[in-house]
Amino acid sequence: MTTALSVNTFTYLQSLRQALHQMPEISGEEEKTAARITQELEQAGADRIWTGLGGHGVAAEFTGAQPGPTVMIRCELDALPIQEISQQAYRSRIEGKGHLCGHDGHMVMVLGVALAMKKRPPCGRVILLFQPAEETGAGAFSVIKDPRWPELRPDFAFAYHNVPGRPLGEIGLCNGVSNCASRGMKIRFTGKTSHAAAPEDGVSPATVLADLMRSLPALGAGGDMGANFALATLTHAQLGEATFGIAPGAGELRMTLRSQTDTRMDQLVGEAEQQLQAALLRAAEHLGEISADVTWHDIFLATVNEGSAVGVARKAADQLGLQCTNMDQPMRWSEDFGRFGLDGAKSAMVFIGSGEAQPQLHNPNFDFPDALIPVGVTLLVEILQQILGQSAPAVVQTAVGLD
């Protein structure tokens, strides 16, 4: 295998990244993106390709000459339902949707690994997974539940994410938890509407809604990361319709719960449901019965790095002379990659700094820095070589402006 990224290869991957950037597809809708990825993998000479995994997921296999472990590199297909405000010539062409988390860059780095597989590893096999629906937390779960998953199941799994606010090209590794658990709580309230001149003849959810807007955020205010870390964020509230003549009979509240561990998340869920029941009882004493329907969405388990996989990634970064930082705290934001570790793979989430002045993830003006492409490709291939065979040469930086 070779990892030296030529100027021509970089230019090709940069052009591909910008083409993907123009055609963002949100979770569950990644059909055209998956088709383009499949085409690229066919051209790269993959030994086998799976499509339609867990939705629109795509995976490719590159097999070594001798038996050995299976190593999976995973990236994401989906974009976000956010309007991009970039003035770049390659900005999103899809109204209200944009690659504002960097998944377009993640995809091309993995496609760069596919190009490096022209020379197969000495042993084992490489699985490149382009996973759907990461942004909703549904994708990894759906891929693992796909009946074809046993054909792909890896011994090792690696993923990575760019991180704004950290030095460009810096590698960050967490021992243990790398990404917090989170889930969305949606509560729909039903009472009874009435004329605004006679609100006493209806049952408005306004009181219970206001009650919960105070009590639920108090379940967790963030603070120091640790086993008891908890953050409850109010994300949406709606009461009735935008009128003046109707006393409302319906409402909706949405919260995001966040914790460092799955155990703490289970506790948070229980505490939130207790707060809801208490608020309904208080309201019933004065207003009448209000019903509440609770549903849970965007469920992310904590992502926990396995020690030996972290060691492989750290050794690969050192081998390439990349700056590598041991991070003492996980990311607050969530990733569904953790499910692959729970499925039995020795896994690690690797972070790559995307610039200290880079706009934050999910900002409408975020744009993945193309200078990270050679760093990501070379690091991922070196990780594969640490497990499956030979050592890679130093990363070629001067050709892409990282010198």
Residue for token digits 């460009």? 168
- The answer to whether the beta carbons of residues 190 and 209 sit under 8 Å apart is no
Q: Given this model, what pLDDT does residue 399 score? A: 31
pLDDT tens-place values along the chain, 403 residues long = 334 578 999 999 999 999 999 999 999 999 999 999 999 999 999 999 999 999 999 999 999 999 999 999 999 999 999 999 998 999 999 999 999 999 999 999 999 999 999 999 999 999 999 999 999 999 999 999 999 999 999 999 999 999 999 999 999 999 999 999 999 999 999 999 999 999 999 999 999 999 999 999 999 999 888 889 999 999 999 999 999 999 999 999 999 999 999 999 999 999 999 999 999 999 888 777 899 999 999 999 999 999 999 999 999 999 999 999 999 999 999 999 999 999 999 999 999 999 999 999 999 999 999 999 999 999 999 999 999 985 433 333 333 333 3
Task: Report which residue type is found at 185.
Answer: M
Residue 176's closest CA among 236, 218, 225?
225
Given CATH 3.40.630.30, say whether it is the number of domain 181-300.
Answer: no
Residues of the chain with CATH 3.30.70.360: 181-300
Assign domain 7-179+302-400 to its CATH architecture. Answer: 3-Layer(aba) Sandwich (3.40)
- The answer to whether the beta carbons of residues 302 and 260 sit under 8 Å apart is yes
Return the structure tokens found at 322.
């990349």
Residues of the chain with CATH 3.40.630.10: 7-179+302-400
Axis-axis angle for helices 206-215, 262-286 (nearest 10): 150
Q: How many CB atoms lie within 10 A of CB 147?
A: 6
H/E element, 12: helix 7-22
- The answer to whether the beta carbons of residues 388 and 68 sit under 8 Å apart is yes
Q: How many CB atoms lie within 10 A of CB 225?
A: 15
Q: Given this model, what pLDDT does residue 227 score? A: 87
Whole-structure pTM value = 0.92
- The answer to whether the beta carbons of residues 132 and 30 sit under 8 Å apart is yes
- The answer to whether the beta carbons of residues 250 and 202 sit under 8 Å apart is no
- The answer to whether the beta carbons of residues 392 and 1 sit under 8 Å apart is yes
CB crowding 165-200: b at 16 or more within 10 Å, else e? ebebbbbbbbbebbbbbbbbbbbbbebbbbeeeebe
